[in-house]
């Protein structure tokens, strides 16, 4: 059976551990980004709804001003 490393160079087991560390790091990063996007996305939709509501209110106020100016 061959040794896991020769002359201080990393061998199969070391590469496997490094690979698993990278996989775990990527998975954790993906989960964190997914949660941040999910939380940030709902507030973005709320903000868009509020902006649309305010734009509607501004249009109503402009119409009222036009009616006052016509009188």
| Global confidence as pTM | 0.48
pLDDT for the residue numbered 2: 61
| pLDDT score for 46 | 80
Report pLDDT for 52.
Answer: 94
Closest C-alpha to 30, from 19, 41, 38, 40: 38
pLDDT at residue number 31: 97
Q: Which residue has the tokens 């964190």?
A: 32
Q: How high is the mean pLDDT in each 10-residue block of the chain (71 residues)?
A: 61 85 98 86 77 95 91 75
């Amino acid at each position: 059976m061959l040794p896991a490393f020769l002359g201080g160079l990393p061998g199969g087991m070391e590469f496997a551990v490094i690979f698993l560390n990278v996989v775990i790091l990527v998975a954790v990063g993906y989960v964190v980004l997914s949660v941040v996007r999910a939380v940030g996305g709902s507030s973005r939709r709320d903000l868009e709804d509020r902006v649309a509501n305010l734009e509607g209110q501004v249009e109503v106020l402009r119409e009222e001003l036009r009616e006052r100016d016509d009188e």
